[in-house]
Structure 1
Amino acid sequence: MRKYIGLPRIEGRAARQAHAGLPEGTWERELGKEGFFGPATHMYHRHAPTGWTSWEGPLKPRAFDLTRLDETQACPFEAGEVLFNGHVRLRHWRAPRSMDHLARNGDGDELIFVHAGRGDLYCDYGHLAIEAGDYVMLPRSTMWRLEASEPIVALLIECTNGSYLLPDKGLVGDHAIFDPAMLDTPHLDEAFEAQRDEREWRVRIKRRNAISTVTYPFNPLDAVGWKGDLVPVRINVRDIRPLMSHRYHLPPSAHTTFVGDRFVVCTFVPRPFESGEDALKVPFFHNNDDYDEVIFYHDGDFFSRDNIHPGMVTFHPCGFTHGPHPKALKNAFTPKKSGTEEYAVMIDTRDALEIGSAAAATEFEGYARSWQTPGAEPQAAE
């Protein structure tokens, strides 16, 4: 087994426990490797690590307001590209009505996060009712279509290499965060039986990001049975039970929901704030030294970010320090509420992301300057 270079050491004024008991008048910054899983050092600074006064060059924190995208797409493969690399693609899909064709993604597993609306999803495996807050994971090449009873807005997260897996939950066991028994699978029920017909159906297939169309003289969603462990699954964010620590602020990786090849999908859901008097109660300052970080804001009060509303995306590429906005820092140890009230989806990618056309068209240009707002003085626990 390989070991990391270096030993745990302490130099100067430093807290013995990360994210708690900060030396008076200091700000803590975490320098870590492998997305909170590798070796780390905590620096204690006289000034806030995000106290910049200007920003020049292509590397910067960015935000995109996807609610400004009012164009609808009949096919999910026409959805607006938000961010992408060789392992994951994020698209924003607005579907106000039912699909008149089937979709089949030959490029990867499709994870649909339903941001708004409700409807019925029909696929090779059967029928699933879907609503806002649902994750629906469709294995690569699953044929499917959506009947919208209310207009659907969804974030599509395509895993283009490998498969979606569940995270290793380690010491807390397989039933933490959510029990795998909470994952719903499609049913060959009456609704599925009723959708079968003998009219002509088109199947739009995406492969190498190009679309081909295959036409059948019947509905190919006509399964009468199936068995196996390759199957679509659904879980709603309301059914996720977050890991919590009363005396220590847990890193985002503790909230991992799905694991892809060289990226993870995490879910932030409401939870109580840490109760320890000396514990940080907001996300800690940290460097993006190995991963790009993306957050899609779904619902609630986003306490660590100012001027962010549901339907927005923030993008913090690898290479700089970031953390909570000044307003949140005022409540670092004494928040005004008893807990968070947010639902958000985070995607951390090991490889650099490119900005797609949908994101470029909706960028909030002032985001990098939003940390310049006058904020709290350095705080430490009494």
Structure 2
Amino acid sequence: MTRHNFIPVRAAQGRHSRQAHADLPEGAYEREMSKEGFFGPATFFYHQRPPTGWTKFEGPLRPRAFDLKKLAAPSASPWGAGVVLHNAAVEIGFWTLAAPMPDLARNADGDLLLFVHQGAGELFCDHGRIAYATGDYLYLPRGEMWRLRPAARTSLLTIEATNAHFSLPDKGLLGGQALFDPAMLDVPEMDAAFRAHQDEAGEFTVEIKKRGQVSWATYGYNPLDAVGWHGDLAPVRINVSAFRPVASHRYHLPPSVHTTFVSDRFVVCTFTPRPFETDPGALKVPFFHNNDDYDEVLFYHAGDFFSRDHIEAGMLTFHPSGFTHGPHPKALKSMLHQPKPATDEYAVMVDARDPLEVGEAALGVEDAGYVDSWRGPA
């Protein structure tokens, strides 16, 4: 993240905890207000009531939820899929594919990340062939030609790094093998199935997206005809089952420790099952926080989403920067005591440094009552 020089403050008033996210004053609710997401200076307030206990919320900053399962109409091309959220640096969509792609795709706008919410099949690309399954991330570098051949109906969350690229985060003191060892990244192979795909006869069209517009290049042969490659740029696959999340039994860690991929103006994080904190004074749910520098997006893939109510797998929530948010009221009952030893959830988070716009596809599948799921007593 960008390094800033902030005004230095070291002070405290009233009843407060010495350690953030632990040993709260009795009956208090903690709220974090910070700079640059969770990477800058912060202050921690201790409130008498939950900071999201509004009786009414109006205006464009309201939290929003979208049921992406309802965007089920299949599209033969990724460029025909619905755009859910977007800004100049990132485009998030949801794509359902029911049959093999008739054409190839090539994204000249930026790197592309596909998260397989449901389905299985094969990816054919310039570099070869690789199988995919539910829970896979498929990374496609800018300019790669590719197509999917599903063996089962496939639904994917798509994340484009517009005019930029994806990289792995700096894992710092944790070491380069934390979260997942880069050796777990699989690359395509030029195997027998790939060679058989090369031999298919007929015309092949490549749909090339640039500046949001599609052009078509048609060949009298399969343009995925490379016979070899070498280098340090290639598509990769990794499944969420390979992730080994960082956990602390005495401290509720911020979402930033689950960062999986980084781009110029946003990050992608992955939540996978982890043990709950066991220290009696440590928070066992996400802390309330002001989201003033980043828009926060969460796609719920599978499991029991312990900090959310009325949210199911296949839904996506959008919390614009500028308002306080945190766990739903039902989760506060387990703020310091959890009935289970570990979480049971898989989710993909995108934190965007610049404000996101809601795409037309999302407007038709919005849960308008989501903002009221935090409603407190009048």
1:307 to 284, 307, 310: 310
DSSP-derived class of the 1:17 partner? coil
Structure 1 position 194, deviation (Å): 1.0
SS in 1 for 2:116: strand
Q: TM-score, normalised by structure 1?
A: 0.96
Unaligned 5+ runs, structure 1: 375-382
Question: For residues 7 and 175 of structure 1, what CA distance do their matches in structure 2 show?
Answer: 35
In structure 2, the residue matched to 1:377 is none
Aligned-pair distance for 1:366? 0.5
The answer to whether the 8 Å contact 1:66/1:358 transfers is no
Alignment partner, residue 293 of structure 1: 296
Post-superposition offset of 1:143: 0.1
Aligned in 2, Cα 1:261/1:333: closer, same or farther, shift over 3 Å? Answer: same
Using the TM superposition, give the Cα deviation of residue 344 of structure 1 relative to its aligned residue in structure 2, in angstroms: 0.2
Residues 274-314 of structure 1: per-residue CA shift (max 9 Å, x gap): 01110000000000110000000000000100011010000
Q: Which residue of 1 aligns with 2:31?
A: 29
- What is the distance in 2 between the residues matched to 1:317 and 1:29? 17
The alignment partner of 2:374 has SS state of: helix
DSSP-derived class of the 2:17 partner: coil
CA contact (8 A) 2:54 2:376 kept: no
| 1:362 to partner: Cα distance | 0.4
SS of residue paired to 2:193 = helix
Q: Which runs of 4+ in 1 moved over 6 A?
A: none
Q: 2:370 aligns with which of 364, 367, 371?
A: 367
Q: Contact 2:30 / 2:47 at 8 angstroms: preserved in 1?
A: yes
- The one-letter code of the counterpart of 1:270 is P
- Structure 1 residue 161, shift from structure 2 partner: 2.6
> 1:269 touches 1:343 (CA, 8 Å); kept in 2?
yes
Match of 1:378 in 2: none
Return closer, same or farther for 1:9/1:373 CA change in 2, 3 Å cut-off: closer
Q: Which residue of 1 aligns with 2:129?
A: 127
- 1:195-234 aligned within 5 A: 195-196=197-198, 197-234=200-237
Q: How far is 1:373 from its partner?
A: 5.9
Which residue does the alignment assign to 1:137? 139
Q: What are the within-5 Å matches in structure 2 for residues 87-166 of structure 1? A: 87-166=89-168
Which residue does 2:22 correspond to in 1? 20
Give the equivalent residue in structure 2 for 1:379: none
Alpha-carbon distance in 2 for matches of 1:96, 1:8: 57
User: Aligned AA for 2:296?
Assistant: E
Measure, in 2, the Cα distance between the counterparts of 1:28 and 1:48.
8
Corresponding residue for residue 380 of structure 1? none
Q: What is the aligned partner in structure 2 of residue 238 from structure 1? A: 241
Q: Residue in 2 aligned with 1:192?
A: 194
Per-residue displacement from partner, 1:223-265 (whole Å, max 9, x unpaired)?
1110111111110000011000110000000000000111000
After TM superposition, give the deviation of residue 55 of structure 1 in Å: 0.9
Which AA in structure 1 matches 2:171? Answer: K
Distance between the aligned counterparts of 2:164 and 2:250, measured in 1? 37
Tell me by how many angstroms 1:2 deviates. Answer: 5.4
C-alpha distance in 2 between matches for 1:267 and 1:58? 27
Aligned amino acid, residue 203 of structure 1: V
Measured in 1, the distance between the counterparts of 2:26 and 2:189 equals 58
1:198: how far off?
3.5
Match of 1:332 in 2: 335
In structure 1, the partner of 2:276 is 273
What is the aligned-residue identity percentage?
Answer: 60
1:36–1:253 CA contact under 8 A, matched in 2 = yes
Q: Output the amino acid matched with 1:22.
A: L
2:66 alignment counterpart: 64
What is the aligned length?
374
What TM-score, normalized to structure 2? 0.98
* Contact kept? 2:55, 2:376, Cα under 8 Å: no
Q: Which amino acid aligns with 2:161?
A: C
Question: Please, what is the CA RMSD of the aligned residues?
Answer: 1.0
Distance 1:366 1:48 in 2: 19
Aligned counterparts of 1:46 and 1:161: Cα–Cα separation in 2: 46
Mapped contact 1:161–1:261 kept (Cα < 8 A)? no
